[in-house]
Amino acid sequence: MDSMSEAFDQLQMVRDVLANSDKVSEVLKESTHQFNLLTSPTFLVVKDQGKFTLPCTLGHLELDNALVDSGASINLISLSMAEKLGIAGGLQRPTTSIMFGDATSKSPLGVFKNYHLKIGECTIPLCS
């Protein structure tokens, strides 16, 4: 008896969908649009812009022409620059090494975590 009742309920649901196909179509269209908004990439992929400069603030140091290499996959700062900024004491022990194009590798002296970089009007938290 339960299976007959379930079959009847399902048949009634199909009839309701068919009777309201315009409304169902609109709901599906809107939900598909919302799904596409959620799954579409946030940033457009553009070709490598190479090297260029931007105004940048790192700690108390303000640079008018900080070099940006958009092809780089890591960001490095010299120990002497970290010392000038007074942030060398914030270095944490690294857990990785850096592999270079000639197959040699080096371990960094340390890694900064939870440090903020300001580029133009945008503040970027540096977290690893």
Q: What is the pLDDT along the chain (128 residues), one digit of tens a residue?
A: 577 888 888 888 878 878 888 887 887 777 776 666 666 556 666 676 677 888 888 777 788 888 777 666 677 788 888 888 888 888 888 888 888 889 899 988 888 777 777 777 788 776 65
> What pLDDT sits at residue 91?
85
Cβ atoms within 10 Å of 87's Cβ, excluding its own? 17
Q: What is the pLDDT of residue 36?
A: 64
**Integer Cα distance of 55 and 64 in angstroms:** 4
pLDDT digits (tens, 9 = 90+) for 72-103: 667 778 888 888 888 888 888 888 888 888 98
Query: So what's the pLDDT on residue 104?
Result: 92
**Do the Cβ atoms of 114 and 126 come closer than 8 Å?**
yes
